[in-house]
Amino acid sequence: MSLPKIHRVVTGHDANGNAIVVHNGDLPRVKEIAAIPGTVFHEVWSTKANASVDNGEDPTLGPLVLPPPAAGTRIRFVDIPPDTREFLENGAAKMNDAFAQIGDVSASTVKRNSPHPLMHRTESIDYGLVIEGEVTLILDTEEVLLTPGSVVVQRGTNHAWANRTEAVARMAFVLIDGTYDPGIARSLAAKG
Query: Residue 1 — pLDDT band, cuts 50, 70, 90?
Result: low
* Lowest model confidence (mean pLDDT) among 19-23, 60-64, 145-149: 60-64
Structural domains of the chain, ranges and CATH numbers in brackets: 7-47+63-191 (2.60.120.10)
Strand 40-43 relative to strand 160-162, pairing = unpaired
Give the dihedral sign, CA 44/47/53/57: negative
With a cut of 90, say whether residue 151 has pLDDT above it. yes
The pLDDT tens digits of the residues spanning 74-132 come to 999 999 999 999 999 998 998 888 888 888 999 999 998 899 999 999 999 999 999 99
State yes or no: pLDDT of 183 exceeds 90.
yes
**pLDDT of 49 above 70:** no
Region for residue 148 given its phi and psi (left: phi exceeds 0; alpha: psi -120 to 50; beta: otherwise): beta
Q: Which residue has the higher pLDDT, 37 or 71?
A: 71
Say which range, 9-23, 33-47, 175-189, has the weakest mean pLDDT: 33-47
